[in-house]
Structure 1
Amino acid sequence: MTWDIEKLDLDAYLTRIGLAGPFAPSTATLRAVHLAHVRSIPFENLDVVLGRGVALDLGSVQDKLVTGGRGGYCHEHNLLLAAALERLGFPVTRHLARIRLGRSHLPRGHAMLTVRAEGRTWLADVGFGGDGLVEPLPFEEGAELESGPWRWRLGRDGDFWVLHAGETELYAFRPDEPHYPSDFEVANFYVSRSPHSPFVRHVLAQRTTADARIRLEERTFPAAGDLARWLRDELGIEITDQDAQALLPRLRP
């Protein structure tokens, strides 16, 4: 696996997120692309729950998230965003972080980015789901961001940088650790295949609007068709009735 950013259909990606170029590699462009991506492409792990795994080559990610009417999880979202930003002229570094959420020393399984724009470094992450970022955050100790009803802060814990959503530590990472395509393949295999991964055990799907997170979790549906329609109408996720039937028992307590 390589980054293969030249394989991205940039015009198709910008159409998917509802933006039209041309764009300069500015802070305003970074914010606009980040926000539009979060609001346009849902977060979901349906292929993982269905036992199909997740392919990270850019062609597969593009086919699924850009043209396929689907969403994805952190590796898919942020590798897609990284390719788009690099094609727009931004220097981008891909990182793997350790989820916290009340725990520590978990595997480096979460994908996120740092991006340079107008002489400043930004933390960019369109793939956390949950209470993840909706706009880029300055990569500076103590930096804070408020967007809609949500607030984030970037702090330090020894050698680690830690992203907080309100009082919750979302994840920690060390920006000095280089990460290569092979590292993402290993992390993605664990997240999508290990029986210890929460993505294997739980159905997750979410769409972010200007002031709300619309989530599938803890909902029930009387029939597969109802689930498929709700995913399409509320989250913008297109799945077959056969897949909806396979997912239906996984939603019930």
Structure 2
Amino acid sequence: MTEDLGYGWQSDLLDLPAYLERIGYDPGPSEGAPRPDAATLRALHRAHVTAIPFENLEIMLGRPVDLDLATVQGKLVGRPRGGYCFEHNRLFAAVLEKIGFEVVALVGRVFMGAERMRPTTHALLHVRTPGQDPDEPALLCDVGFGGGPFEPLEIPGGAEVEQDGWGFRLQPARTASSLRPGAPVWEMHQRGPDGWMRRHSFALNEAYRVDFDVLNYYVSTSPRSPFTARPFVQRFSPEAHLVLDGTALTVTRPSGASETRTVAPVRLPDVLAEEFGIVLEGDDAPRLVKAVDGLNLDV
């Protein structure tokens, strides 16, 4: 058996047919297996984003977030659950590697409109088709943010991209010094009710699975991480962006119109199933209700 040196995404351990069934991807009998081309990448990205929700419920249930491929597959593919960026993009990287794409991981800083510098806590993927001309734009994939995009964005980019009424764009990022960086830094902007917002920034520096492990540990355990403070669940579709933040359930439309209602903790398992397609098993439902009751959130 060859020693695993930590390169690549262990796609030999991936159950690709089960994944394709989970996201509802059916190329049709005449197409055969997915091919490593741009059209396939766009279709897979859209299917993943709309099928598998974003959630941090393992943390709320007092369990670690494991990134080994068997655990991630078991949770996101084998069960009606979701995950956050490190789980989603860990899985998607293995899928793309299995099909034959050239995949490089990146990590980013999430700002969501803030000005203060933030740590690197987000995972993204830089993808090329095999044999692609190096002068042609690569594709930036991010199936793990919870709010799109539906399809990859070209990088280098710059143009505003409209996807089902939702707006995205990439642009060069501001820097903290006059030193020339080793690689370009980019910002993802997303259009919201109040105009364009800087969502996150990232450098074109390669990251590896071990980097995901380190950053995931901080995100899932630090009291400074927003994901250790309350439930945070998202589902994105052409019609609406659903966000459960603590006990506040907000629905935002592509037009920018939104409405928010408060969910009683005892109703959370039902709302997760009905609105997000997340079904809690065993005693996880009462455990989640108890955990949220203890957070002293407004109900």
TM band (smaller chain):
over 0.9
Q: Once the two structures are superposed, what CA deviation does each residue of 1:51-102 show, in whole Å capped at 9, x if it has no partner?
A: 2121011111001100021000000001111111111111111111111221
1:173 maps to what in 2?
202
Instruction: Please state how far the C-alpha of 1:109 moved relative to its aligned partner.
Output: 1.1
Q: Does 1:114 align with 2:126?
A: yes
Which amino acid in structure 2 is aligned with residue 16 of structure 1?
R
Tell whether the 8 Å contact from 2:108 to 2:121 is kept in structure 1 after alignment.
yes
1:65 maps to what in 2?
76
Q: Once the two structures are superposed, what CA deviation does each residue of 1:166-221 show, in whole Å capped at 9, x if it has no partner?
A: 2111111111x231222111100111101100111131111112221122221443
Q: Does 1:25 align with 2:26?
A: no
2:20 maps to what in 1?
14
CA distance in 1, matches of 2:101, 2:202: 21
Instruction: Please state how far the C-alpha of 1:155 moved relative to its aligned partner.
Output: 0.4
Question: Which of 179, 188, 191 lines up with 2:216 in the alignment?
Answer: 188
What secondary structure, in the 3-state scheme, does the structure 2 residue paired with 1:67 have? Answer: coil
2:256 maps to what in 1?
none
Tell whether the 8 Å contact from 1:50 to 1:246 is kept in structure 2 after alignment.
no
Question: Which of 154, 163, 177 lines up with 1:138 in the alignment?
Answer: 154
What secondary structure, in the 3-state scheme, does the structure 1 residue paired with 2:43 have? Answer: helix
Question: Which of 254, 278, 296 lines up with 1:237 in the alignment?
Answer: 278
CA distance in 1, matches of 2:291, 2:128: 40
What secondary structure, in the 3-state scheme, does the structure 2 residue paired with 1:78 have? Answer: helix
What secondary structure, in the 3-state scheme, does the structure 1 residue paired with 2:127 have? Answer: strand
Check 1:251–1:58 CA distance in 2 against 1; reply closer, same or farther (3 A cut). farther
Instruction: Please state how far the C-alpha of 1:242 moved relative to its aligned partner.
Output: 2.2
Q: Does 1:252 align with 2:273?
A: no
Instruction: Please state how far the C-alpha of 1:223 moved relative to its aligned partner.
Output: 5.5
Q: Which of 61-70 and 233-242 deviates more?
A: 233-242
Tell whether the 8 Å contact from 2:148 to 2:236 is kept in structure 1 after alignment.
no
What secondary structure, in the 3-state scheme, does the structure 2 residue paired with 1:216 have? Answer: strand
Instruction: Please list, as runs of the form range in 1=range in 2, the aligned pairs for 1:30-41 lying within 5 A after superposition.
Output: 30-41=41-52
Q: Once the two structures are superposed, what CA deviation does each residue of 1:217-238 show, in whole Å capped at 9, x if it has no partner?
A: 21443463x3212211210101
CA distance in 2, matches of 1:182, 1:78: 14
Q: Which of 234-243 and 87-96 deviates more?
A: 234-243
1:199 maps to what in 2?
227
Identity %: 42
CA distance in 2, matches of 1:169, 1:208: 19
1:123 maps to what in 2?
140
What secondary structure, in the 3-state scheme, does the structure 2 residue paired with 1:29 have? Answer: helix
Which amino acid in structure 1 is aligned with residue 285 of structure 2?
D
After TM superposition, where is structure 1 displaced by more than 6 Å over at least 4 residues in a row? none
Question: Which of 72, 83, 86 lines up with 1:75 in the alignment?
Answer: 86
CA distance in 2, matches of 1:223, 1:99: 28
What secondary structure, in the 3-state scheme, does the structure 2 residue paired with 1:14 have? Answer: helix
Tell whether the 8 Å contact from 2:54 to 2:235 is kept in structure 1 after alignment.
yes
2:263 maps to what in 1?
221
Gaps of 5+ in 2: 28-32, 176-183, 250-261
CA distance in 1, matches of 2:290, 2:276: 19
Check 1:227–1:4 CA distance in 2 against 1; reply closer, same or farther (3 A cut). same
Instruction: Please state how far the C-alpha of 1:132 moved relative to its aligned partner.
Output: 3.5
Bigger helix fraction: 1
Aligned length: 250
Check 1:26–1:195 CA distance in 2 against 1; reply closer, same or farther (3 A cut). same
